[in-house]
Structure 1
Amino acid sequence: MKINPKSSKLITAIKGSGGVISVIAQRLQVDWHTAKKAIDDYEPARQAWQNEREWLLDIAEGSIINSINNGDTHDAKWVLARLGKTRGYGDAMEIKGQVVAEHIFDYHAAITAITGRPKSNP
């Protein structure tokens, strides 16, 4: 089934979907690819879809903020790792400096290890 991208049904199906294409497709009674193509082909539908995604992110951020306000240190650490990089927080540890390596080859020990007997001195 083809969707008229300019149909108000498309925008209506997008609203309240959270931007989930499967939900939109189900509301329109079409397959996933048909719904995605209709959204991609019509700028107002693309904007409505993007608005839904942004709304969903806002809800998720609000949930994390509420969780942190209730003392959830796990969520607080997660936020610090992602948003606190300018303050020194993050997932990765950065080590700066110079590495100096010294390699000492012990010829006599190597001969002993290979032959099983110490090197004789002339």
Structure 2
Amino acid sequence: MDVLQSIPVLSIAPGVVLGLIALFPGQRIGIEIAAILMIFTGMTWNMVFSFYQSLRGIPIELREAARVYGLSGWQRFWTLELPSGAIGLVWNSVMSVAGGWFFLIAIESLTLGDKNFRLPGLGASERCSSRYR
């Protein structure tokens, strides 16, 4: 998890976009899937790491109490881990939505080399919605 955290989501965007465009040549579906994938990744990234940090912050005494009471994995999740991570998840979900808006704007107009990929969306004019250029 710590290694993955050091990789910015925008650094993998060009490879994902080019790969999906190559998978669907001449169609806009490749760039659309790339946009959805990058927005989803950007939003969930923050929440996954927040929950992971919350799990690492659970005191050892509470973990031992859950083991002594014989809680199953599901019971331990509902009674110990989810309540421990709930505040961080709520806070980081707000931050993730803000990050999602950033990736939405970043992925709608992407230039890779001499190619310009544009998607219809926020602030897009009528001529941008035809096809990617």
Same fold (TM over 0.5): no
> As a proportion of its length, which structure holds more strand?
2
Larger Rg: 1
Q: Which has the higher contact order (CA 8 A, sep 6+)?
A: 2
The alignment's TM-score, normalised by the length of structure 1, stands at 0.30
